[in-house]
Structure 1
Amino acid sequence: MDLKRIEGQLTVCKLKSTAAIDLNQEFYFIGKTDEEISLVCKTEDTPTKTLERDDGWRAFRIQGTLDFSLIGILSKISSILAENKIGIFAVSTYNTDYILVKEENFDAALMALEKNGYNIV
């Protein structure tokens, strides 16, 4: 299975409203529930007014489109990283899964996955 690096640093933040999000940017995830609005975006695109923010994330994605019938893909990746004491923040889209790790763990995460048969592209 191929894993593709996402270039650049990411920020995970909490917002009061979606009004400050620049929807013209190339890369972002918005999660809105009855309790919060979360945003994952390139660090340079982070809105200036956030309720909370956590910088220093890097990401990779599972390459290609995953069928909804596939089971355990994210679980296997997160287990490998957990065995290497690397925490994750995962985001799923209709097509695939994105795995974020703190920048200081990014290279170690990719090496651990490569050691377990994943191809890093």
Structure 2
Amino acid sequence: MKLKRVGGDFTVCKLSALSDLAGFQQESGFWFLGKTDEELSLVCETSVVPEKTVEREDGFQAFRIEGVLDFSLIGILSKLSAVLADNGIGIFAVSTFQTDYILVKKENYENALKLLDAAGYTII
């Protein structure tokens, strides 16, 4: 399985309302918005974080599982996260219709990719 680096620095934000996105640069290269009955979260490039955030956690870098993942595939994310968890590296995962994105803290990023490479993943 191939893992592709996603360039840039990322931030995970908690917002109070959709109106907090006023002025947000939606044309930026990467952002993901999630809303549940309990919270509103935004993952975006650090350079475009909205002015209004309730909380934010900076310092992430990302990679994605390359290609389109079929919904019948089982355990892909759990196997990746197990390799990293076994080595003390936490993740923040974002899933889209096609694939999964893994964000790790910047200071763990290169080590995470080395560990995954050693576990048989191809890093591109």
5+ residue gaps, structure 2, are none
Shift of 1:45: 0.8
> What is the aligned partner in structure 2 of residue 5 from structure 1?
5
> What is the aligned partner in structure 2 of residue 18 from structure 1?
18
> What is the aligned partner in structure 2 of residue 34 from structure 1?
37
Alignment of 1:83 with 2:65, yes or no, is: no
Shift of 1:34: 1.0
Instruction: Give TM-score scaled by structure 1 length.
Output: 0.97
Query: Percent same amino acid among aligned pairs?
Result: 60
> What is the aligned partner in structure 2 of residue 70 from structure 1?
73
> What is the aligned partner in structure 1 of residue 120 from structure 2?
117
Instruction: Give TM-score scaled by structure 2 length.
Output: 0.95
Q: Deviations over 1:4-44 (max 9, x none)?
A: 00101000000112231432222100000111110000000
Cα distance in 2 for residues equivalent to 1:49 and 1:92: 25
SS in 1 for 2:26: coil
Cα distance in 2 for residues equivalent to 1:12 and 1:85: 20
> What is the aligned partner in structure 2 of residue 106 from structure 1?
109
Cα distance in 2 for residues equivalent to 1:30 and 1:79: 25
Mean alpha-carbon deviation: is it higher for 22-31 or for 63-72?
22-31
- Report the count of equivalent residues: 121
